[in-house]
Chain A
Amino acid sequence: MTVKTLVKKNSYYDSVTLMIITNDIKKLDGVEEVLVGMGTEHNIALAKDLGLFTSELEGVTANDLIISMKVADEGVFEKAVAKVEELLSSKQEEEEGEEVKPQSIDSAMDANPDANLVLISVPGQFAAREARKALLKDRHVHLFSDNVTIEEELELKKLAHERGLLVMGPDCGTAIINGAALAFANVVAKGPIGIVAASGTGAQETSTIIAKNGSGITQLIGTGGRDLKEAIGGIMMIDGIKALAEDPDTKVILLVSKPPAESVARKVLDVAKETGKPVVVHFIGGTAELVNEYGLVFSESLEDAAVKAVALSKGEEPKDAPEFSIPREKVEEIVKRETEGMKPEQKYIRGLYSGGTLCDEAMLFMTREFGGVYSNAPLSPEFKLEDSLKSKEHTVIDLGEDEFTVGRPHPMIDSTLRAERIEEEAKDPEVAVILLDVVLGYGSNPDPAGSLLDAIKKAKEEATKDGRYLSVVASVCGTEDDPQPLSEQVRKLESAGVVVMPSNIQAVRMAIKIAKRG
């Protein structure tokens, strides 16, 4: 046995390389012991302890690489030196070749290197961390999780913006990217309209109405409901608009959001104007002045927005969507039929919604008509219900609010709570109309209409026993290509005596007409 040493003066090799050297040299026949490390005082002392010290080690410093080995003969040492040189000059992959099973976001990304988007649905306290990991690996993020702090949202969106990525969320219920429906979304044909939406069911309603009007979408980019708040500044809506502006297939851009802070709205509208493409803006409850100031197309309802976007995509003048898309006579016939058996004291509407934005739209139009609508999530605080389980006068309930979803699935998935509430509302002799939304698509209940039928039938029977007629009005947000085909869901509802309207806004208008007896 002989002891030999190789010293690389002032040389820094990463630890992986040094580890590989150690392992590979150890494997060589005729090598009894090897020490690869930096020439620190303690390492030199250890070399002495192990009998691996040679004169070459005198005068080395902590910045020198030392490779000492006990080998059978000179030939083995030469082989070892050749191996070391080979390893030092080759570009070793840093990661070792162990198979990675995707048990986490990181390993999933590693295992699917071509996937460029990560959908995250984990409890809120962990969501930002997972999103950050995805962004740091250059993936777009669809952040379905809620309960992410606004500070975290801002940090994530800034990071995404800097890296040219999207963070759709947090609490982003809907997106359709390159035809792939993410979370709660519908099967919508490809077409010329690009949507950026800070509202889940707002996005579903507009995209499905676009489909119902024979058109389609390029992308549906969700931003999460807080994106247009002052604290976030519309980072993702702006980036989404820019992305659609650059997309040659997008001929018309449609923006959907609750009314943003004016400063944010102006930033967004500025960018929208700059695109040079026709842009339809629907800031729910917003006014036309601001949108008109930028020369963009204002829309009053989700349906109006979708209809105008379709018209623009065909090169037509955008006209306001009609109040009802069914003939006037048909509307009057329905109102007459639904009100005939009602008692005079039946005057209130009870809206039971699974979609938050659809709920807002209902409240908005009902408030214009009735002056105020009670809710668990009212438009103004004085109409907040003291007890969300007990309706009062005109009431519209958002069953997707946290108070109803803690420990149970969202009402778009599980209809139990809504079915119970339908029966409960039917007992109130002052109720004229129960107003519902039925949302189809991926993520939703496989048969949302069917899951409500028993409750609707029982509610109507309960009213009949009491000598009343209870009207149930609904809209179905979906397409024929959804996993729950639209026509089938409509048929089921109609079979239970439900008045099914083509859009949420038309259902709201119909409910108002019935409650007001025309």
Chain B
Amino acid sequence: MEKKAYFFSKNSLRILKTLQNEGRVHSVFKNSINILTPEKTLLTLLSKKKEIYRNPISIVIDEEDFTNWHILPHEKVVYKDDYLIFLNRKLYVNLGNKITWDSSFRYFGPLSPPHVIQKNIETLKFFIKVMKWNKGLLPLVIDVFPHSPFSKKILPILIEIMEDNHMNLEVIEGIVGLGDGLTPSGDDFLSGFLIILYYFGRYLNLTDRLDRIISPLLEIIPTKTNLISATFLTLAAKGEAFFLLREIIKDLLGRRAFDMENIRFLIEYGGTSGASILAGLIFGIDYVLKHLYRETKEVIV
């Protein structure tokens, strides 16, 4: 059986090379397969149904449902002659057609003034309330009292973070690995938060300051959560975002029209992951507007 691939994240091209030495299937889902390289990094194969969710380590495959492949965790995978080969299944993924995209940070034009960003966030929160999008950790950022035990545990931590303009590493670390879902909702939340910090950091010339918090956090993350979650958290901390998330950030912070459809897509991602990422993103923007934007006089770009 031969399948075709397209939409390669730039990272995936680098990861692929490491698969010239044999890798292993890490986990298999209906719409994604994670492959573990000999260097212990992940590569995600994503079904075409979920292209909109292409991520910094993904390759999109022209396939509707991976369960048809009957692949099991720990099976051998190798990259050879521009094919990804699942040796046991004689299944070949043709990687010849490399439409690439770059998940790393990019300037998207001038940052909107704080009051415009504030207005965007208020509008977004209003819609979340009206649409009753109360999945994951979203209730926490629209002032709805949480019901799940995870949310109840996370809420005081978030309040503590929001009240502290110095960002205490120990407090932030308290939500790594905490919560429901394959990627714990605390991690999803933190992904949204970190990616926003990264974007603002680059725009507001705060990279060094933020790095003092984020660098030690990056060392802690792999010890506190599972590999899939740690991978995405680490990428977020380095400004590497899902395609969809980057579009949303551009809408919220830049001078583009606001696309609620992208928000809906994000909320539909995973069980609660997308909603919790969005919650982190909103929280991050609130945090920056409260503590960082005001302190900064010079705005680059």
Is the Cβ of B224 less than 8 Å from the Cβ of A41? yes
Whole-angstrom distance from the CB of B33 to the nearest CB of chain A? 11
**The one of B182, B260, B270 that contacts A38, using a Cβ cutoff of 8 Å:** B182
A43 in contact with B228 given A15-B272, A94-B30, A129-B259 (CB within 8 Å): no
Q: In the assembled complex, which residues on chain B have CB atoms less than 8 Å from the CB atom of A41?
A: 177, 223-224
Is the Cβ of B270 less than 8 Å from the Cβ of A16? yes
**The one of A18, A105, A126 that contacts B257, using a Cβ cutoff of 8 Å:** A126
Is the Cβ of A38 less than 8 Å from the Cβ of B226? yes
Q: Which B residues between 252 and 301 are near A, CB-CB below 8 angstroms?
A: 256-257, 259-261, 264-265, 268, 270-273
**The one of A12, A19, A91 that contacts B271, using a Cβ cutoff of 8 Å:** A19
Is the Cβ of B97 less than 8 Å from the Cβ of A19? no
Q: Is the contact region of chain A dominated by helix, strand, or loop, or is it mixed?
A: helix
Check: A36 CB closer than 8 A to any chain B CB: yes
Is the Cβ of A38 less than 8 Å from the Cβ of B177? yes
**Residue among A40, A41, A91 with the highest chain B CB neighbour number at 10 A:** A40
Is the Cβ of A40 less than 8 Å from the Cβ of B99? no
Is the Cβ of B29 less than 8 Å from the Cβ of A14? yes
A162 in contact with B99 given A14-B270, A15-B272, A42-B224 (CB within 8 Å): yes
0 or 1 for each of A11-50: is its CB under 8 Å from B? (1 = yes)? 0111111111010000000000101111011110010011
> How distant is the Cα of A418 from the Cα of B281 in the complex, in angstroms?
52
Whole-angstrom distance from the CB of A86 to the nearest CB of chain B? 17
Check: A106 CB closer than 8 A to any chain B CB: yes
> How distant is the Cα of A279 from the Cα of B252 in the complex, in angstroms?
51
Is the Cβ of B261 less than 8 Å from the Cβ of A43? no
In the complex, which range does the number of interface residues on chain A fall in? 35 or more
Check: A63 CB closer than 8 A to any chain B CB: yes
Beta-carbon nearest neighbor of B247 in chain A: A129
Check: A333 CB closer than 8 A to any chain B CB: no
> How distant is the Cα of A418 from the Cα of B34 in the complex, in angstroms?
62
Check: B156 CB closer than 8 A to any chain A CB: no
Is the Cβ of B261 less than 8 Å from the Cβ of A105? yes
Q: In the assembled complex, which residues on chain B have CB atoms less than 8 Å from the CB atom of A13?
A: 29, 182
**Residue among B30, B31, B259 with the highest chain A CB neighbour number at 10 A:** B30
0 or 1 for each of B145-188: is its CB under 8 Å from A? (1 = yes)? 00001100100000000000000000000111111111110100
**The one of A18, A61, A94, A106 that contacts B181, using a Cβ cutoff of 8 Å:** A18
**The one of B6, B48, B184 that contacts A40, using a Cβ cutoff of 8 Å:** B184
Is the Cβ of B224 less than 8 Å from the Cβ of A12? no
Whole-angstrom distance from the CB of A456 to the nearest CB of chain B? 42
Is the Cβ of B97 less than 8 Å from the Cβ of A43? no
Check: A159 CB closer than 8 A to any chain B CB: yes
Is the Cβ of B99 less than 8 Å from the Cβ of A14? no
Q: In the assembled complex, which residues on chain A have CB atoms less than 8 Å from the CB atom of B26?
A: 12
A15 in contact with B228 given A37-B150, A91-B30 (CB within 8 Å): no
A18 in contact with B177 given A46-B149, A49-B153 (CB within 8 Å): no
Check: B51 CB closer than 8 A to any chain A CB: yes
Is the Cβ of B227 less than 8 Å from the Cβ of A36? no
Is the Cβ of A158 less than 8 Å from the Cβ of B149? no
Q: In the assembled complex, which residues on chain A have CB atoms less than 8 Å from the CB atom of B268?
A: 95
0 or 1 for each of B225-250: is its CB under 8 Å from A? (1 = yes)? 11111000000000000000001000
Check: B67 CB closer than 8 A to any chain A CB: yes
Q: In the assembled complex, which residues on chain A have CB atoms less than 8 Å from the CB atom of B27?
A: 12
Beta-carbon nearest neighbor of B261 in chain A: A104
A125 in contact with B225 given A15-B272, A19-B272, A37-B184 (CB within 8 Å): no
Check: A81 CB closer than 8 A to any chain B CB: no
Check: A62 CB closer than 8 A to any chain B CB: yes
Is the Cβ of A15 less than 8 Å from the Cβ of B183? yes
Q: In the assembled complex, which residues on chain B have CB atoms less than 8 Å from the CB atom of A19?
A: 135, 180-181, 271-272
Beta-carbon nearest neighbor of A49 in chain B: B153
> How distant is the Cα of A306 from the Cα of B180 in the complex, in angstroms?
66
Whole-angstrom distance from the CB of A73 to the nearest CB of chain B? 22
Check: A177 CB closer than 8 A to any chain B CB: no
Check: A261 CB closer than 8 A to any chain B CB: no
Is the Cβ of B179 less than 8 Å from the Cβ of A43? yes
0 or 1 for each of B116-149: is its CB under 8 Å from A? (1 = yes)? 0000000000000000000100000000000001
Could you list 30 A-B pairs, sorted by A, with CB under 8 Å? A12-B27, A13-B182, A14-B31, A14-B32, A15-B180, A15-B181, A15-B183, A15-B270, A15-B273, A33-B149, A37-B179, A38-B225, A38-B229, A40-B176, A40-B178, A40-B184, A41-B177, A42-B177, A43-B178, A43-B179, A46-B153, A46-B178, A62-B227, A62-B229, A91-B67, A104-B260, A105-B261, A133-B52, A138-B48, A158-B99
* Leading 10 A-B pairs by shortest Cβ distance: A40-B177, A19-B271, A15-B271, A42-B178, A15-B270, A12-B27, A15-B181, A62-B226, A16-B271, A104-B261
